Structure 1
Amino acid sequence: MSVLVFDLDGTLVSSMEDLVVTLNIVLTANGHREVPQEKVVHMVGMGARILLQRGLEFNKIEWTDEMVDPLFRHFLDHYAANIAVHTRPFEGVEASLETFRKQGWKLAVCTNKAERLTLPLLDALDLAKYFDAVVGGDTYERSKPHADPVHGAIERAGGTVEGSIMIGDSGTDINAARNAGIPVIAVDFGYTPVPVSELGPDKVISHFDELGAAIDTLPGLKR
């Protein structure tokens, strides 16, 4: 059984504003400068802890794990309480997911966002109903770009690696797909510091209504 494995932030949902607000609330509460949104766009994709580390580096702080730990807890608590103030699915997401389910695809989310944040966000946006499996950044010992969470998402969705596809927006997603041995389609409206086409995906789309056609052009795909 083939699985479509989706990244979350910057792929399925536009979440940047809520991430920026939470990051800057945590930083300013601890005496640091806010990070402009245009900078935060280049910091996301590896989970909240690394986002905080990069926020401290923006402030020229030589951070330690002991320094980051309380900030991380503050971030998780605030973000969980404000999980979808501004976050919304990208245009065409719901219609595409519905179509793929009707076509017989299994669907999974594989994100570096913690499970305790991912599941409530999907519920808040009424997206959870589409997915057969959800894997967060802390579901397994290793997160993307390692293959483990991608393989885990496919297995939990009841599928096999052969015929499965990753859809993401960043080098983290592309490398995870490569490590997992599956093709990857990238969206060009997500969060990456360079054009995603330069990162070597198999296909690039600019809208979710292009995804079906992109899947059909992947060579050797077996359903």
Structure 2
Amino acid sequence: MADFPFGAVGFDLDGTLIESHRDLGTAVNHALALGGFAHVPIDHASDLIGGGAKIMLAKALDMQGGVAEDEFRRLYKAMLAYYGENYAVHTRPYPGALEALDELAWRGVRIGVVTNKFEEFARGILDTLGLLDRFDCVIGGDSLGKGPDGAYLAKPAPDPILRLRESCGGGRIVYVGDSSYDMRAARAAGVPVVAACYGYCDKSPDELGADATIDSFAELIPVLEALG
């Protein structure tokens, strides 16, 4: 609909569109077991999420003393291999997510995903859940390659969100995420940002400093209208 204030809405994936901590936590625990470390309680795995799988594993290992770089690479590769075969065992969309996506589509809004998860995994999960065709673009942590420093151009860098705007035809966009990585990326891109406070937030709502907050998907459309 022409009166909607945004031409496109971008979403983070883990902790925003999908509840995925059980599958992520199981993959982390697989790597920890290979290294001789204690498991992370699955219910607390959400505390590690944010910044991508590598940071998640690093946090879990650092809690137990850490490992040398070559051992970390071995465990990280094992974690990715396991996750690539088990990324949608327990993972599901958050309640109300499908209805919100349908409402945005009905209003003529283009929809994209920007995640620090590898694009292959993100697309695979969305496809398994029957959601992939709902999105105009899926931008993963590795989609834009690496910058001059050798690191992937992923959040909190603004590049993925700027690519989202380009892929969705330009115009005014808004981004929805649950972590400080999301907030920083949106701010750097000059894009309004909504904090999904039901997700795996690494800071309090006040500390995240979003333009608006939601506690469920039922609040999203009214909040976007008000924000616009």
Q: TM-score per shorter chain, which class?
A: over 0.9
1:128 maps to 132
Tell me whether 1:19 sits opposite 2:24 in the alignment.
yes
Distance 1:106 1:11 in 2: 17
Distance 2:215 2:203 in 1: 15
CA RMSD, 1 decimal: 1.4
Tell me whether 1:172 sits opposite 2:181 in the alignment.
yes
Distance 1:63 1:196 in 2: 35
C-alpha displacement at 1:20, in angstroms? Answer: 0.7
C-alpha displacement at 1:185, in angstroms? Answer: 0.7
Unpaired segments of 5 or more residues in structure 1?
Answer: none
1:83 maps to 87
2:169 maps to 158
Contact 2:12 2:178 (C-alpha < 8 Å) held by counterparts: yes
Distance 1:93 1:131 in 2: 13
1:146 maps to 157
Change (3 A) 1:62 1:79: closer
TM-score normalised over the length of structure 2:
0.90
C-alpha displacement at 1:38, in angstroms? Answer: 5.0
* Residue from 5, 18, 43 that aligns with 2:10: 5
Q: Secondary structure at the match of 1:146?
A: coil
Contact 1:8 1:110 (C-alpha < 8 Å) held by counterparts: yes
Tell me whether 1:213 sits opposite 2:218 in the alignment.
no
Tell me whether 1:104 sits opposite 2:113 in the alignment.
no
Q: Residue by residue, what CA displacement relative to the aligned partner does 1:137-167 show, whole Å, maximum 9, x if unpaired?
A: 111221001100111122122233xx20000
Contact 1:57 1:63 (C-alpha < 8 Å) held by counterparts: no
Unpaired segments of 5 or more residues in structure 2?
Answer: 1-5, 147-152
C-alpha displacement at 1:39, in angstroms? Answer: 4.2
Matches within 5 A, 1:57-76: 57-64=62-69, 66-76=70-80
Contact 1:185 1:202 (C-alpha < 8 Å) held by counterparts: yes
Q: Residue by residue, what CA displacement relative to the aligned partner does 1:76-132 show, whole Å, maximum 9, x if unpaired?
A: 111111111100000010111011011011100000001121110000111111100
Identity within the alignment, %: 37
Distance 2:93 2:44 in 1: 22
Letter in 1 for 2:209: G
Contact 1:5 1:108 (C-alpha < 8 Å) held by counterparts: yes
C-alpha displacement at 1:199, in angstroms? Answer: 1.2
Q: Residue by residue, what CA displacement relative to the aligned partner does 1:168-220 show, whole Å, maximum 9, x if unpaired?
A: 011111111100101011111111233234311011111111111101111xx
Letter in 1 for 2:79: F
